[in-house]
Amino acid sequence: MQNWFDIHFTSRDGLRLYARHYPSRSVGRRPLVCLAGLTRNARDFHDLATRISQNDETGREVYCLDYRGRGRSQYDPEWKNYTMLVEMNDALDFMAMKDLNRAAILGTSRGGLIAMLMGVLRPTAIGAVILNDVGPVLERDGLSRIVAYVGRVPLPATWAEAAEIVQGMHGRQFTAVPQAQWEEIARQLFNDNAGLPAQGYDPDLAKAITLLDGPVPDLWPQFLSLSNVPVLAIRGANSDLLSAATLEEMRKRHPRLEAVTVRGQGHAPLLKDGPSIGVVADFLARTDAEDHTLRALAHAG
């Protein structure tokens, strides 16, 4: 039984974009907006969104977006628009349309970088941030691996073959994933076309992905733009994109950062297991309580 609503909306330049809304009857809690990785989509957050939106005293509204050219969103005829700035504007426009004020942003990989951009360009839009395996220093090995497969993953003929491909790509990093779960993960990555796997993103996305010849620039100013909001930083223990040293430095520089490492997972943690989802839920509950306290103090003053 489908527990979300499909949302189709139009971008400022006329593309038809897609999002999922996981409703909750609970009130007074900040909404959660989930932004996926480079080639990923809203399906990645289904297990987490189902738990976070449950109808009890901890539930909250959850929205999961498909960037342009990913998932069920329309491909952009101009591949040069596949940039984080354009994708950030799409997300902010969606948030304005749905009146999502001071939302919590959960950003996996590229989604976390977009959250940092929001901190620079629209800080009042966000009330809390969860960075899933991404930070101000991106390891070149991880970037190289990601770039190598964008647009080059073969289209499988069956879902069993899709599971084999995905396990072959990620199995070494995700040692804690049970064998039976790889097809479920494959169904997140690939679209479903009449029961068969279909491309989950525009192959032209590969044209928009480039690596610098020199060192990858640090993004500490963008990260530190989040200093005024609570941040939860999640790292996969086997990650090749976010190092343990960078995570520790993030914790030192951000006064309100909590850091968690997920064992047996790499880039980026799947957020499908109970403990990981529980960490996110608990963090969001604490930010709600903190926000209510600050508002009460402001009102009393």
pLDDT in tens, 83-122: 999 999 999 999 999 999 999 999 999 999 999 999 999 9
Q: Where are the domains of the chain?
A: 5-151+201-300
Say what the pLDDT of residue 27 is. Answer: 84
- Is residue 71 within 8 A of residue 203, CB to CB? The reply is no
| CA dist., res. 20 & res. 201, Å (int) | 17
Say what the pLDDT of residue 212 is. Answer: 46
CATH of 5-151+201-300, one of 3.40.50.1820, 3.40.50.620, 3.40.630.10, 3.40.190.10: 3.40.50.1820
Choose among 145, 140, 138, 139: nearest CA to 112: 138
Global pTM value: 0.95
Radius of gyration of the chain (CA): 18
- The ranges of the chain with pLDDT < 50 are 212, 297-299
Say what the pLDDT of residue 291 is. Answer: 72
Say what the pLDDT of residue 101 is. Answer: 92
Say what the pLDDT of residue 298 is. Answer: 45
Say what the pLDDT of residue 289 is. Answer: 85
Choose among 272, 233, 238: nearest CA to 253: 233
CA distances in angstroms from 276 to 17, 35, 91, 139, 272, listed in the order given: 29, 17, 25, 23, 7
